[in-house]
Amino acid sequence: MAKKTPALADLSTEEKIREAARKLFTKKGYAATRTRDIAEEAGLNLALLNYYFRSKEKLFAIIMVEKLQKFFGFLLPIIYDESTSLESKLETISAGYLDLLMVNPDLPFFILNEIRNNPDLIVNVVKRKDFLKNSVFLKQLKDQRPDADPLQFLLSLLGMCIFPFVMKPGFQKITDTNDHKFFQMMEERKKLIPVWSKAILKAKYPK
Amino acid sequence: MAKKTPALADLSTEEKIREAARKLFTKKGYAATRTRDIAEEAGLNLALLNYYFRSKEKLFAIIMVEKLQKFFGFLLPIIYDESTSLESKLETISAGYLDLLMVNPDLPFFILNEIRNNPDLIVNVVKRKDFLKNSVFLKQLKDQRPDADPLQFLLSLLGMCIFPFVMKPGFQKITDTNDHKFFQMMEERKKLIPVWSKAILKAKYPK
DNA sequence: GTCTATAACCTGATAGAC
DNA sequence: GTCTATCAGGTTATAGAC
């Protein structure tokens, strides 16, 4: 039996606060989240937040690093894997991202939002700043299509994977799609994106 | 001589405030923007903001409607145009969006962010709630590929157009791309997306 | 470790002089 | 219309009892 969200009562006080902070920060962002809300969400007193984490900002920084690692961490081993083909990587990346985001639908928006406020955050997590430029993935792209800009392709691949989640609330409102239907679509996208990304990879590159 | 950003001094006080509010709200969102910052950005006193707009919320609502109309407004005539082909629409939409976003790079993030906080906002601007479902564009997609889900395609098209701007700050940091280079890439994307969207439209739909 | 009470600060809004 | 000064309310952070 998987324990996605462990019962609040079972957690230590510190972890209760973390869990509540994760939920609220990802949902509403730093500025719109009040420490009172976090304390209430955790079923605890406000003072405990400062007792354990000293300040809202410090608590936020902890959650942020966690989330950044989730968002970029799983990508690193894939794009540096010498043993897999480009096509295999496309499948792994899209399926991996969709699985990750189906469990954490608010993650991309949160990350993108807070990077906007502080772009240097990325560097701290990604460590090596040329991690993308030096990757096997980018080299394989360059090999397959020496005539094309691999970054253009990457933007489209990520857009296809991530954008639906960034747009989720608006999309659901416009198309009258409930959560069940949305996640069903994302499940289908796991098959679609590999096919589509290969199609655009083979497409004639316009001059 | 185009006047993109008219000199602040030339504007009426009311318009100075609007302009400053546009800038800060789109950049940082509602919660993170302080009325004091808006006043300072406009080179004016805080009290004038309330004199002209009564409250932060009311000022925000005005900017928000403006932006929503910008973001969705230009789409409506295109997707309801009976006289143009599907392929022509793909070109018009991608080129139109990229042009729009090159002038307003922060627009998508702002829209997406505030829709998240208040999904009903969309309805007020889009008026008819089935505006997408009933569109010529969706019908043409359905005609061309009766075996496929047109919404999946739409998500990819929008993702390819909009996502680069949502990710702009992070992308530039990771790839060490300055503004000039970024906009150059977006210019190139105007040619790429039509080709790519047609490619995925023709791709074999996986079962 | 956990709570209540309160301090210290910030932010949106207004009063009133010019 | 525009400014300075200030209020009222809310938010983070801390002091101190238990």
How would DSSP label each residue in chain B? ---SS--GGGS-HHHHHHHHHHHHHHHHHHHH--HHHHHHHTTS-HHHHHHHHSSHHHHHHHHHHHHHHHHHHTHHHHHT-TTS-HHHHHHHHHHHHHHHHHH-TTHHHHHHHHHHH-THHHHHHH-STTTTTT-HHHHHHHHH-TTS-HHHHHHHHHHHHHHHHHSHHHHHHHHT--HHHHHHHHHHHHHHHHHHHHHHHHSPPP-
| Angstrom distance, A36 CA to D16 C1' | 21
Per-residue pLDDT, averaged over A68-84, amounts to 93
Residues of B in contact with A175 (CB under 8 A): 132-133, 151
Measure the CA–CA gap between A39 and A16, rounded to whole angstroms.
9
User: What residues contact residue A53 under an 8 Å CB cut-off, 6+ apart?
Assistant: A17, A59, A62
Instruction: Name the residue in chain B with its Cα closest to that of A129.
Output: B174
Query: What's the pLDDT band for A12 if we cut at 50, 70, 90?
Result: very high
Look-up of token digits 């359905």: B142
Instruction: Phi first, then psi: give them for residue A133, nearest 5 degrees.
Output: -60, -35
Q: In the predicted model, is pLDDT for residue B54 greater than 70?
A: yes
Token pair of A44, please? 């605890």
Please report residues contacting nucleic strand D, using a CB cutoff of 7 A. Answer: A 33-36, 46-47, 50, 54-57; B 13-14, 44-48, 51
Q: Which has more pLDDT, A1 or A13?
A: A13
Band (pLDDT 50/70/90 cuts) for residue B127 is low
Spacing of C-alpha A28 from chain mean position: 16
- The spacing between the Cα labelled CA in A58 and the C1' in C15, in angstroms, equals 39
**In this predicted model, what pLDDT tens digit does every residue of A28-48 receive, in sequence order?**
999 999 999 999 999 999 999
Among A120, A156, A167, the residue with its CB nearest the CB of B112 is A167
Token output for A9? 């009562």
Dump pLDDT digits (tens) for A118-176: 878 777 777 677 889 999 999 999 999 999 999 999 999 999 999 999 999 999 999 99
A8 pLDDT band, cuts 50/70/90, is low
A91 has pLDDT over 90: yes
What per-residue confidence (pLDDT) applies to A120?
A: 81
Residue from A178, A185, A180 nearest A164 by CA: A185
Tell me the C-alpha distance between A50 and B38, whole Å.
Answer: 31
H-run or E-run covering A133 = none
pLDDT at A126 (0 to 100): 73
Nearest to B137 by CA among B179, B184, B84, B188: B84
Find the mean pLDDT for residues B149-154: 98
Q: Which nucleotide is nearest to B58 (CA to C1')?
A: C12
Chain A contact for B65 (CB, 8 A cutoff):
no
Q: Give the percent of chain A with pLDDT over 70.
A: 95
**What is the identity of the amino acid at A185?**
M
Set of chain B residues whose Cβ sits within 8 Å of the Cβ of A172: 119
Residue B39 neighbours by CB distance under 10 Å: 20
For residue A200, which of A155, A166, A138, A165 has the smallest C-alpha distance? A155
Q: Is some CB atom of chain A closer than 8 A to the CB atom of B126?
A: yes
Average pLDDT, chain A: 93
Residue B131: pLDDT above 90?
A: no
Mutate: best of B72, B125, B168, B196, partner A, most A CBs <10 A: B196
The answer for residues whose C-beta is within 8 angstroms of residue A76's C-beta and 6 or more apart is A131
Better pLDDT: B38 or A5: B38
Q: Which residue has the higher pLDDT, A2 or B132?
A: B132
Residue A203: which of B111, B131, B196 has the nearest Cβ? B196
At residue A146, φ and ψ (nearest 5 deg) are -65, -15
The Cα of A141 is separated from the nearest Cα of chain B by a number of Å equal to: 16
Average pLDDT over residues A1-9: 53
* A9 has pLDDT over 80: no
Q: Are the C-beta atoms of B159 and A199 separated by less than 8 Å?
A: no
> What percentage of residues in chain B have a pLDDT greater than 70?
95
Q: Which nucleotide is nearest to A34 (CA to C1')?
A: D11
Q: What is the pLDDT of residue A2?
A: 45
Closest residue, chain A, to B164 (C-alpha):
A155
pLDDT at B42: 98
Please report the pLDDT score of residue B2 as a whole number: 45
pLDDT digits (tens, 9 = 90+) for B9-53: 679 999 999 999 999 999 999 999 999 999 999 999 999 999 999
Rounded (to 5) percent helix, strand, coil in chain A: 75, 0, 25
Instruction: Report the distance separating Cα A144 and Cα A199, nearest Å.
Output: 13
In this predicted structure, the answer to whether residue B158 has a pLDDT above a threshold of 80 is: yes
pLDDT digits (tens, 9 = 90+) for B164-203: 999 999 999 999 999 999 999 999 999 999 999 999 999 9
In this prediction, residue B78 carries a pLDDT of 96
Where residue B3 falls among pLDDT bands split at 50, 70, 90? very low
Query: Cβ of B58: how many Cβ atoms within 10 Å?
Result: 11
